[in-house]
């Protein structure tokens, strides 16, 4: 059984790289474990809790809406 895909994608990598912020620096700025930040960068199916998303958005200086991109779910 596979995990269903989330109907959104987080644009953490794109925004952080656009601002010249590394994974390590973002981890410190957001007070989020570096492993979690790496998963946000690398795993499109990862679904962190709302507090984590909020901390990352705040650290990047963006809104939650800026951080989240709607992702069309493919019907199977």
Tracing tokens 């990862």 back to the chain, one arrives at 46
Q: How confident is the model at residue 10 (pLDDT cuts 50, 70, 90)?
A: confident
Please return the burial class of 59, using the count of CB atoms within 10 Å of its CB with bins 0-12, 13-18 and 19+. buried
pTM: 0.80
Query: pLDDT tens for residues 15-69?
Result: 999 999 999 999 999 999 999 999 999 886 788 999 999 999 999 999 999 988 8
Q: Is the pLDDT of residue 72 over 80?
A: no
Q: Which two tokens stand for residue 63?
A: 């809104």
pLDDT at residue 76 above 50? no
Going along the chain from its start, the domains and CATH numbers come out as 8-61 (1.10.260.40)
Instruction: Give the DSSP per-residue string, the chain.
Output: -PPPPPSEEE-HHHHHHHTT--HHHHHHHHT--HHHHHHHHH-TT----HHHHHHHHHHHT--HHHHEEE-PPPP-
């Amino acid at each position: 059984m596979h995990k269903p895909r989330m109907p959104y994608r987080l644009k953490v990598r794109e925004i952080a790289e656009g601002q010249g912020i590394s994974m390590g620096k973002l981890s410190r700025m957001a007070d989020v474990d570096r492993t979690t930040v790496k998963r946000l960068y690398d795993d499109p199916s990862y679904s962190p809790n709302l507090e984590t998303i909020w901390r990352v958005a705040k650290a990047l200086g963006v809104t939650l809406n800026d951080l989240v991109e709607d992702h069309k779910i493919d019907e199977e």
